[in-house]
């Protein structure tokens, strides 16, 4: 009886008929059985999961996981749509199949009349001579343009008359005009306050009440007002209602098919197609939010978060910017109010001379900069001939090993074992300054 009651309660909580799960849903351990009746995925998603903990959870799932492959026509449709939205380079073959499966279930359950075949083009890019973020009117600087030189003679008389009229209207500033309104005269305001006759009226105290008792009662009333019943606090009971009021997510009402994914590119394609995206707690996502890299030198953006240098201008001025995509495909960028976005650390002094040699360690200043290959020495790279009559096994104490070369001192290993410098104990403290004796 207890199992039947739990099953009936779980059926009541389930609001979505068909839920398509991505690898992120299994990695996060989302309770898909709480908000989905039928859970679908593809075999490629399960094969992507490598960690042991998630593998153990998949072996003992409390619900039945259905495997279903999408039709090729839906895969082609989703692929063409992702190319139009610009998310195709960020999507893998598995992601496209998950999107196609969601589209297929939506077509079989509800239909395709409400789905979009073309993304909404809300953002229009126009090439301008000057970037809108570039300063136009800077105080203390004169930035003339070529087109204004011809109009200076015609506007000279008009500007002179305008200056005279403005000077007559504002007698305090007769020399030149300011860019803001004049500040109020503080002395005149103080004089008016001194001349004004002010009368202070204190509230009458009842006859049977002493001043001390009045203050005590006021303190008691204040303490009673402060100790409320927890109104205004965010608790697990009202967190969903507060999130709905803020517009971050919404309860899924009359939703037949939904996709649970943490990939920003997949969420963007689903929202622009008109499909439903579910969060890890089963709430309906209204807008997708993620991060991109924006160059503060040429104002170009890139979605490749592994880039260090700007792919357009080549400078090391990429900074992470939060972006959100609405249900209609509108892209919003959220900038930081901190004016010191670019850190100037390390720009005060000149760089040291670049090092040479096979194992040089120079700072990364350009994307096409060449770095040493960190190869082993010739003696360490020579192959051992086991058929040599003078062959000595490597475990023998008389075997020759490379311990004197620079590569051996820098602990550079073979490519099969992992190339590059490695420390024996990365957590060991190193002495920076050694006292000379």
Ligand-binding site membership of 155 (annotated): no
- Both tokens of 230, joined, read 């927890």
Ligand-binding site membership of 249 (annotated): no
- Both tokens of 197, joined, read 């006759």
Ligand-binding site membership of 259 (annotated): no
Binding residues for Zn(2+): 295, 298, 310, 313
Annotated binding site: 295, 298, 310, 313
């Amino acid at each position: 009886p207890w199992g039947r009651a739990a099953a009936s309660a779980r059926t009541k909580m389930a609001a979505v008929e068909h839920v398509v799960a991505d690898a992120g849903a299994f990695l996060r351990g989302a309770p898909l059985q709480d908000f989905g009746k039928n859970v679908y995925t593809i075999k490629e998603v399960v094969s992507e999961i490598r960690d042991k903990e998630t593998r153990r959870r998949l072996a003992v799932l409390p619900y039945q996981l259905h495997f279903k492959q999408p039709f090729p026509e839906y895969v082609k449709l989703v692929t063409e749509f992702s190319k139009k939205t610009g998310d195709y380079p960020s999507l893998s073959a598995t992601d496209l199949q998950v999107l196609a499966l969601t589209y297929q279930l939506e077509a079989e359950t509800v239909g395709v009349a409400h789905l979009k075949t073309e993304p909404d083009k809300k953002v229009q890019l126009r090439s301008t001579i000057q970037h809108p973020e570039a300063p136009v009117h800077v105080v203390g600087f004169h930035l003339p343009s070529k087109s204004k030189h011809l109009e200076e003679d015609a506007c000279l008389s008009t500007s002179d008359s305008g200056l005279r009229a403005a000077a007559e209207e504002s007698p305090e500033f007769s020399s030149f005009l300011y860019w803001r309104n004049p500040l109020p005269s503080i002395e005149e305001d103080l004089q008016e306050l001194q001349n004004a006759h002010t009368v202070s009226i204190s509230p009458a105290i009842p006859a049977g009440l002493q001043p001390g008792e009045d203050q005590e009662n006021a303190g008691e009333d204040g303490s009673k007002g402060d100790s409320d019943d927890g109104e205004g606090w965010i608790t697990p009971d009202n967190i969903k209602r507060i999130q709905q009021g803020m517009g971050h997510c919404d309860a899924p009402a009359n939703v037949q098919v939904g996709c649970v994914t943490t990939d920003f590119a997949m969420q963007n394609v689903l929202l622009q197609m008109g499909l439903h995206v579910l969060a890890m707690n089963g709430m309906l996502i209204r807008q997708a939010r993620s991060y991109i890299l924006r160059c503060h030198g040429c104002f170009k953006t890139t979605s490749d978060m592994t880039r260090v240098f700007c792919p357009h201008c080549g400078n090391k001025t990429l900074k992470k910017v939060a972006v959100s995509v609405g249900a209609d495909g509108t892209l919003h960028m959220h900038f930081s109010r901190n004016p010191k976005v670019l850190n100037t650390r390390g720009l005060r002094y000149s760089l040291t001379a670049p090092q040479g040699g096979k194992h040089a360690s120079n700072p990364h200043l350009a994307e096409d900069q060449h770095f040493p290959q960190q190869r082993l020495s010739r003696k360490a790279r020579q192959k051992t001939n086991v058929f040599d009559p003078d062959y000595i096994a490597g475990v023998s104490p008389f075997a020759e090993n490379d311990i004197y070369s620079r590569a051996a001192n820098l602990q550079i290993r073979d490519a099969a074992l992992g190339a590059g410098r490695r420390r024996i104990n990365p957590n060991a403290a190193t002495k920076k300054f050694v006292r000379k004796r």
